[in-house]
């Protein structure tokens, strides 16, 4: 049996990273291009995507995960251009308003963040499944967070338990369950969730470890099936609890 992600011809993998004009997404793209793969850098803003693609050596593609037509157009472009996709990295994410008091959170706060983090993930997976199914050993990496772990959220020794986060944390818990469910029904696709760990990006207001370290779990999950098998939830140190 061919190991996942090791194409018999030994050719570079075709990889799509969403939300990649900055932050963890852009650094993931940079490292994957440096590793010799053909990477589509997806961004909702064409100009910012083009700049980031120029900086990283990737191919830019416009993709807003909240728009069916945008996601479908991106899938059609890659279908026409390449005809398959080896690795889909669902990285685009939004924290929502982190200053919002828990009691003030309402349905529209949830809808906005879920539209990107949760519905966006399913929207992109749905649109790209036909292209993934054309690959020899396809992989879906869902960029979750340790904030999505119910085990850590209820463990007072963990920092994840100390941040109130009805909106963002629950959206990442939903991504975890989405990962488990797709992994169960798609035996030919490796589907997994990763936690980058607190990393200094715009999303955290610059708080956390250097961005090169934040992408370790993402890049490893994309390229190393043994380190991140289907249905797994890992960070840079290995498996973490759901
Ligand atoms: N940094 C951390 O500590 C940390 C920890 C755990 C998990 N994560 C996760 O890692 C991922 C990347 O986060 P980050 O820290 O790199 O944050 P970031 O710097 O804020 O980057 C987020 C990216 O997502 C894009 N995005 C947002 N909405 C989008 C949409 N509708 N369509 C397409 N792209 C969209 C943003 O594009 P624009 O520039 O156009 O807004 C940006 O490129 C997220 O899923 C986040 O939840 C981060």
Integer Cα distance of 222 and 139 in angstroms: 7
Q: Which of 22, 114, 168, 233 is catalytic?
A: 168
Q: Is residue 160 a part of any domain in this protein? A: yes
Q: Is residue 5 a part of any domain in this protein? A: no
Label residues 22-57 b or e (16+ Cβ within 10 Å = b): bbbbbbbbbbbbeeebbbbbbbbeeeebebbbeebe
**pLDDT for 45 beyond 50:** yes
- The C-alpha angle 90, 185, 183, rounded to 5 degrees, equals 40
To test ligand 1's pocket by mutation, which of 21, 24, 160 has the most ligand atoms within 8 angstroms of CB?
24
Q: Is residue 93 a part of any domain in this protein? A: yes
The question of whether 184 is a catalytic residue gets the answer no
> How many domains does the structure of the chain reveal?
1
The question of whether 233 is a catalytic residue gets the answer no
Look up residue 100 and give its DSSP letter: S
Tokens standing for 204? 């955290």
**CA contacts within 13 A on the Cβ side of 179:** 33
User: Which band of pLDDT confidence, cut at 50, 70 and 90, is reported for residue 31?
Assistant: very high
Q: Is residue 119 a part of any domain in this protein? A: yes
Integer Cα distance of 110 and 117 in angstroms: 10
User: Which band of pLDDT confidence, cut at 50, 70 and 90, is reported for residue 3?
Assistant: very low
Q: Is residue 19 a part of any domain in this protein? A: yes
**Residue 176 Cβ contacting ligand 1 at under 6 Å:** no
Residue 1 confidence (pLDDT): 34
Q: Is residue 8 a part of any domain in this protein? A: no
Q: What is the pLDDT of residues 136-172, one digit of tens each?
A: 999 999 999 999 999 999 999 999 999 999 999 999 9
Residue-range definition of the domain harbouring residue 63: 14-239
Give me the chain's average pLDDT, please: 95
Q: Is residue 1 a part of any domain in this protein? A: no
Provide the 3-class DSSP secondary structure of residue 212. Answer: helix
Q: What is the CATH number of the domain that holds 211?
A: 3.40.50.720
Tokens standing for 117? 């983090």
């Amino acid at each position: 049996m061919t190991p996942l992600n090791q194409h018999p011809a030994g050719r570079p993998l075709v990889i799509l990273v969403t939300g990649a004009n900055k932050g963890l997404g852009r650094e993931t793209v940079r490292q994957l291009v440096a590793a010799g793969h053909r990477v589509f850098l997806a961004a909702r803003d064409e100009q910012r995507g083009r700049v980031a693609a120029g900086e990283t050596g990737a191919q830019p593609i416009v993709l807003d995960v909240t728009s069916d037509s945008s996601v479908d157009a991106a899938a059609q472009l890659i279908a026409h251009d390449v005809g398959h996709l080896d690795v889909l990295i669902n990285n685009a994410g939004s924290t929502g308003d982190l200053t919002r008091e828990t009691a003030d959170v309402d349905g529209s706060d949830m809808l906005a963040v879920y539209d990107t983090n949760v519905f966006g993930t399913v929207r992109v997976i749905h649109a790209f499944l036909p292209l993934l199914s054309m690959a020899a050993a396809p992989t879906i990496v869902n960029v979750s967070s340790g904030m999505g772990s119910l085990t850590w959220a209820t463990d007072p020794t963990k920092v994840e338990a100390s941040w109130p986060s009805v909106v963002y944390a629950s959206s990442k818990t939903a991504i975890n369950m989405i990962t488990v469910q797709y992994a169960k029904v798609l035996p030919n696709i490796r589907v997994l969730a990763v936690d980058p760990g607190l990393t200094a990006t715009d999303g955290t207001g610059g708080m956390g470890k250097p961005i090169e370290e934040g992408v370790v779990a993402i890049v490893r999950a994309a390229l190393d099936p043994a380190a991140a098998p289907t249905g797994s939830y890992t960070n840079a140190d290995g498996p973490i609890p759901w």
